[in-house]
Structure 1
Amino acid sequence: MFTSEKMTQDQEQQVKILKRVLEGWRMVLLPLKSIFLWEQQWHPCAIFASISLIYLVIWLLDLNFLATMAIIGLFINSVDFLVPIICNSIYTPSYWDGQKEKMFEDICRSLVNYYNKMLQNIYTFYSLRETSPCVYFIISISTSLTLAWIASSINNIFLIYILSTVMLLWPGIQHSGIFNTMLSMLHLAPKNSTLKTE
């Protein structure tokens, strides 16, 4: 069993490792954070338009799966190589101050928290296999069948487009409180009363 102190030490170690990995991207992460959290009104539109443009190009190219994966890999590697070089040539070391370092550390800590929470949810789900195998298999089989039915009914590129859009808009949805507002509206909705027959 992990103690909370041990988990905090592991998390701090993860934050340090992530800061080292993202060192070249730190100048880009600060503006990206404001975009993903919708600090300006046009940010969700920019996210939606960017994703739509990328998927429109993929759809127009009409490449097979391997060619699409190769182009996406080439693009990601090129961006990962060029962004640190461009950032280091544009920004001087004096541009980076203590406030920006704290914001960068907060971003890394948030990413580590989301990653650990996702892993915890996965472990919790797989622990159902030991504690409650019937529930585990019912959830697994019904989810697999539902996903297979959806994938056979709807174009796969369109499904990935919807998933990507929701994933990239989700931090702003949570930060702006839209999701909580919708949940509270559902809870406050009047319940349909059944007609009583006399």
Structure 2
Amino acid sequence: MRAVIQRVTKASVTVGGEQVSSIERGLCVLLGISVEDTQKDAEYMVRKILNLRLFEDESGRAWSRSVMERELEVLCVSQFTLQCILKGNKPDFHAAMPAGPAQNFYSSILENLRSAYRPDRIKDGEFGALMQVHIQNDGPVTIELTSPPRTTDPKQVPEPLTQNRYQNHRPKTGTRTKTGTRTIDPK
């Protein structure tokens, strides 16, 4: 699952020329659901959306309060295009969950947000509709968030880049060119 989370002074969604939802200060969350997403991904996103410290505290100290701690609003917009994979210059959306299951999954995320916070503070657009999303970004602050990969196979978990691994991955000091000559490092 992917999310683009923006701190906003206000945001709204318009469908067919009619405003269907709006918030004042808070977060606008564009959410892209993948065919591989599970309830665990949804729980991760709900927890992060509500607990990211993107706001100042009462004394003005930045990055110290969450949307819940400040009692602000959240506007969620389902956006399957976040699951885009480019094939050349053409977008491919096969990684996005199909509309039917995605709508149910998205609705459950909204329910989880409302039950974890305050139902009146969680707003959303219109699933599957062609929407105009009006965002007045505050800062600007924009965070891209991806749910963690679900691998338990230690061979698939990337090894940390230690000093020894770094040295093994450094480029060689000399390289061959097309003419067969060698470039020598001036050191």
Larger helix fraction of residues: 1
TM-score (normalised: structure 1): 0.21
TM-score (normalised: structure 2): 0.22
